[in-house]
């Protein structure tokens, strides 16, 4: 069986600026993979590259073994990859319910199931996106991603900038997704939480993957890895 997502030797540029220098990784069905690295190391660019939002200049992306390199972003997304972007992907001028409705595609994730995952949203259905707290917006963004019924969900900054209690609620939801077998690529700065959550971990340093391995392998060189992540 082929990997759900494969990124092979991605080189990505912003204009003349060479940001990704041969990024390679893969995600198997059902796996939770974490993507770590200090600010500006290329995490968002890696995500944008695989999704075709900032297409790589060279390298290859495959979804379920199918090459999608060079495809427009909406076609790659339609292969079953949903993004919860940095800074939240919601429509501020639509209500919560409308935000959910426009995301919905057929599958096991229904409005009822995402509201069971994030009960707070149920009380806010008639509110506008812009009226939600940061944490509620992130819950709505995750709910919208799930309603597309993806094979893989990508969280770019799962809990960044949110209050501790809300962060715990979001991590609990992400753990529930993992336990249900949803594949995920998770970016965050909470290394301890990521180590407990992920099957495999990647560390980016200046656009290169400098560590890739499971939690035991991470811990076997914990000092070096934590050094790579220290601000
Ligand atoms: N639109 C852009 N134009 C030019 N350079 C960019 C652009 N977006 C990002 N960069 C640069 O590319 C590099 C990688 O940025 P990227 O946003 O991928 O980092 P990141 O790991 O996601 O950081 P953070 O943890 O702050 O989100 C940085 O040097 C950044 O300044
Ligand atoms: Mg980023």
DSSP for 56-106 reads -SEEEEEETTEE-TT--HHHHHHTTEEEE-TT----TTSBHHHHHHHH--S
Q: What pLDDT, on a 0 to 100 scale, did the predictor assign at position 88? A: 78
Q: What pLDDT, on a 0 to 100 scale, did the predictor assign at position 142? A: 98
Q: What pLDDT, on a 0 to 100 scale, did the predictor assign at position 141? A: 98
> Tokens 């809990």 belong to which residue?
159
42 lines ligand 1 (CB under 6 A): yes
Segments of the chain scoring below 50 in pLDDT? none
Q: What pLDDT, on a 0 to 100 scale, did the predictor assign at position 2? A: 85
- Beta strand spans in 107-228 (E): 152-156, 183-187, 200-205, 208-214
How many CB atoms lie under 10 A from the CB of residue 78?
Answer: 15
- Give the ligand 1 atom nearest the CA of 37: 21
Contact at 8 Å (CB) between 193 and 169? no
Q: What is the pLDDT of residues 48-90, one digit of tens each?
A: 999 999 999 999 999 999 999 999 999 999 999 999 999 878 9
- Give the ligand 1 atom nearest the CA of 189: 25
Q: What pLDDT, on a 0 to 100 scale, did the predictor assign at position 158? A: 92
Ligand 1 centre to CA of 100 (Å) is 29
Distance of alpha carbon 116 from alpha carbon 112, whole angstroms: 6
Contact at 8 Å (CB) between 96 and 127? yes
Distance of alpha carbon 82 from alpha carbon 142, whole angstroms: 9
Q: Which two tokens stand for residue 103?
A: 């995301």
Q: What pLDDT, on a 0 to 100 scale, did the predictor assign at position 60? A: 98
Ligand 2 centre to CA of 50 (Å) is 14
37 lines ligand 1 (CB under 6 A): yes
């Amino acid at each position: 069986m082929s990997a759900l997502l494969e990124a092979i030797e991605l080189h990505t540029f912003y204009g003349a600026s060479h940001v990704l220098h041969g990024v390679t990784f893969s995600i198997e069905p059902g796996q939770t993979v974490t993507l770590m690295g200090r600010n500006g190391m290329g995490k968002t660019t890696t995500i944008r590259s695989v999704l075709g939002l900032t297409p790589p200049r060279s390298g290859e992306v495959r979804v379920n073994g199918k090459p999608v390199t060079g495809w427009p972003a909406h076609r790659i997304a339609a292969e079953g990859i949903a993004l919860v972007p940095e800074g939240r992907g919601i429509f501020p001028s639509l209500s919560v319910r409308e935000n959910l409705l426009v995301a919905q595609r057929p599958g096991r994730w229904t409005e009822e199931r995402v509201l069971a995952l994030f009960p707070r949203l149920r009380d806010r259905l008639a509110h506008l996106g812009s009226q939600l707290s940061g944490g509620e917006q992130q819950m709505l963004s995750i709910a919208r991603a799930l309603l597309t019924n993806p094979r893989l969900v990508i969280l770019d900054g799962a809990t960044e900038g949110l209050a501790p209690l809300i962060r715990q609620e979001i991590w609990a939801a992400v753990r529930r997704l993992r336990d249900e077998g949803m594949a995920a690529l998770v970016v965050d700065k909470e290394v301890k939480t990521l180590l407990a959550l992920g099957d495999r971990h990647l560390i980016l340093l200046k656009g290169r993957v400098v560590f890739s391995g499971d939690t035991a392998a991470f811990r076997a060189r914990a000092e070096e890895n934590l050094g790579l992540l220290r601000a």
